Every structure is written in C-alpha cells, then in structure tokens.
A = this chain, B = another copy of it.
Amino acid sequence: MKALVYKGPGKKAIEDRPIPDIAAPTDAIVKIVKTTICGTDLHILKGDMPTCAPGRILGHEGIGVIETVGSAVTGFRTGDRVIVSCISSCGKCDYCRRGMYSHCIDGGWILGNKIDGTQAEYVRIPFADTSLYRIPAGADEEALVMLSDILPTGFECGVLNGKVQPGSTVAIVGAGPIGLAALLTSQFYSPAAIIVIDLDDNRLQISANLGATTVINNNDGKAVDKIMKMTGGRGVDTAVEAVGVPASFITCEDIVAPGGVIANIGVHGVKADLHLERLWDRNIAITTRLVDTVSTPMLLKTVQSRKIDPTRLITHHFKLNTIMDAYDTFDAAAKTNALKVIIDA
C-alpha cells in the first residue's frame, strides 16, 4: 500500500508498505477513506518529536472502513464506517477509567508517532472498541475527519478547561486550525464576546466569519491594551493559548480577569515566564491538557444536529498520491491560506 513515511528530520517520502496485520486481539485494520495533516506532523518532520522514529508512517486523523477485526473486538465488524481517534485508549487502565485517555498506559497519542499512522491506505488501530467511533448513516464524512483530533482538542483543552459560559468573554490567541476549532466549539456555550488575536489578516477574516465578535491583528503589539480597554480594565474570563510560544502565553497572563482561566492548547517547546508576582492573588487557573477525546461522542452529536459545521475549516483537497503537495500546501499556510486539507485515500 501507499504510505507517507517520516524519513528523519526534514525528510518524508511516499513509500510502498505492506498492509498491516492484526497484532493483538483488540486490534482492527481500517481502510482509510479520508485523512488529513496536523501541525504536529510538521513538528515531527522538523525533528522535534524524539518519540517518532524515522520509518514511521505519519498521520493520526481520518475516517475509514473496517477491513478486519481481532478476536476480542465486539463493537465493530468488517464494513463498518468509523472515525479514527488520534488517541488510543485501552479502556482498562486507571487513566482510561478516569477519562484521561491521553495518558492511557498502553495508548495515548501513539498513532503516527510510536506506531504507524493514518496517512496510508490502511492502518492498524489498537484497542479498536475504545479508539474508533461509528459513523452514523448519512453523515458528512469530511466533517467527521475533524473529530479525530482538531475539534476535541479545541473543545477539551480550550473550551471545557476554559470554562466558557453563557455571557462570558473569551479571547483566543492564535487563529490556526486549533484556535479556530476552539472558536467554533466555544459557541456551544453562548459567550457574549469572543476575541481572536493573530498576526495574519486572512485568518482573522476567517475568524470573523466563523463567529469571532472582535478580531485583533497584534502586529503592532497592542492587543493586550485593546483587550483591557474593551473589557473595562477587567480582562477576559477565558484566555485560550493556541500557538505554543512564550509570547502568546504571556499575552494570556496579561489579559486574564480575576477569577478567569488560561486554557493552554499550544504545544510548547520551551518554558515561559509565569508572572506569579502579579498573578498570585488574582484567583486564576492555568490548565494544560493533551486531548483525551473523551468528548468525541458529544461532538459527534453536535455535528449531526448541525450545531457546528466543521467543514468550514477545510480549505484544500488532495489524493493520497499527491500527499507531498498537500504537505507543501499545508506548510505554506501563510501563502496558501490553508487550514485543514483533506486527503482522499
């Protein structure tokens, strides 16, 4: 089968690989129908993820059709259409039993990282019963590709951790795909204001289209001042960090109101300054989270009932044999205006 393979820092290739086999009774083999590329895949390609060894098939998102199942799989059978979750969950360990699938002892984020992933014609999914979700008949399958990672990530790490409430004020720092997923899903809770901060006017325009009540281009470094003025000096109830660099985290520190939450989504490579000398008495919370995908069933219901339309995050389409172009397009987002790209397998 065709597969996109990580070949070491800066290198990737389309290769021919054998179709994977069932390795454990709880496995399923899924024939990929649609997959996509995540910012994390770019991190791997930069060599930033030592957990991912050269030779790995990338990709942790997608939808497909069950090809075969192991002997202990009871929830799926050949021919079932499924969403692949980016997180593999054994369903048995202490973390899984507490809903923290991200820290599953034998699972977690392993797909396209420690085991071969979804940017291929077939993928082996461990713990299939607790790591795949059935696609309802008649669903828009492109929309559901967004349920593999980006929507639960924006929702769990940004919106749920950020305790977005009716009438509250939310700021999202970073309007990439993950920030936009937080923007879409924060509207589940009817906040009064959603401010999006970025440096790219195109992404800010998209943010406005997707429901932001204010967009701020922070090229002039005045976003904090503007937000404090807009909020009467009080700040925002929820500040979502969706970039992953110290500067944007510190912006969140600067704008969070007393009693508010800084909900970090960004993948950080270095430490940030925590200004405890200003924050110790502000009654705030700072949260971090690797997505657990525990909200996937809930999100599926919101998509099926048309509370959100995740296809609005999709900008480009490719075939698997042109996935190298898809990577180029996704990596050059500033030029191509790419958000999520769909790759048909």
Given contacts A190-B302, A307-B190, contact A283 B273 (CB under 8 A): no
CB contact list, A95-139 vs B, under 8 A: 95-100, 102-103, 129-130
**Complex-state Cα separation, A213 to B302, whole angstroms:** 13
**Complex-state Cα separation, A168 to B307, whole angstroms:** 11
Q: Report B-chain residues with C-beta under 8 Å of the C-beta of A284.
A: 287-288
A286 in contact (CB, < 8 A): yes
A282 in contact (CB, < 8 A): yes
Which residue of the partner chain, among B25, B72, B189, B304, contacts A189 with CB atoms under 8 Å?
B189
A328 in contact (CB, < 8 A): no
A199 in contact (CB, < 8 A): no
- A274 contacts B277, CB within 8 Å? no
- B92 contacts A91, CB within 8 Å? yes
- A268 contacts B280, CB within 8 Å? yes
- Nearest-neighbor residue (CB-CB) of A284 within chain B: B288
- B305 contacts A167, CB within 8 Å? yes
Which of A2-10, A258-266, A317-325 lies at the interface with chain B?
Answer: A258-266
Which of A13-21, A54-62, A293-301, A336-344 lies at the interface with chain B?
Answer: A293-301
Given contacts A166-B298, A167-B302, contact A25 B72 (CB under 8 A): yes
- Nearest-neighbor residue (CB-CB) of A304 within chain B: B192
A335 in contact (CB, < 8 A): no
**Complex-state Cα separation, A189 to B165, whole angstroms:** 9
Q: Report B-chain residues with C-beta under 8 Å of the C-beta of A288.
A: 276, 279-285
- B259 contacts A100, CB within 8 Å? yes
Q: Report B-chain residues with C-beta under 8 Å of the C-beta of A99.
A: 97, 99
- A167 contacts B307, CB within 8 Å? yes
Given contacts A271-B275, A274-B272, contact A98 B259 (CB under 8 A): yes
Which residue of the partner chain, among B72, B167, B213, B307, contacts A192 with CB atoms under 8 Å?
B307
- B258 contacts A276, CB within 8 Å? no
A193 in contact (CB, < 8 A): yes
Residues of chain A at the chain B interface (Cβ within 8 Å): 25-26, 71-72, 74-75, 91-92, 94-100, 102-103, 129-130, 161, 165-168, 187-190, 192-193, 213, 244, 246, 249, 258-259, 264, 266-277, 279-290, 292, 294, 297-302, 304-305, 307
- Apart from A166-B299, A189-B189, list 17 A-B contacts with CB within 8 A: A91-B97, A92-B129, A95-B258, A97-B130, A161-B285, A166-B301, A187-B190, A190-B190, A268-B277, A269-B277, A270-B276, A271-B273, A271-B274, A274-B286, A280-B290, A281-B290, A285-B285
Some 29 contacts from A to B, beta carbons below 8 A apart, are A25-B72, A91-B96, A91-B97, A92-B129, A100-B258, A100-B259, A102-B281, A103-B259, A161-B285, A166-B301, A167-B297, A192-B301, A192-B302, A192-B305, A249-B274, A264-B276, A268-B277, A270-B277, A271-B274, A272-B273, A276-B288, A280-B290, A281-B289, A282-B290, A283-B288, A283-B290, A283-B292, A285-B286, A286-B286
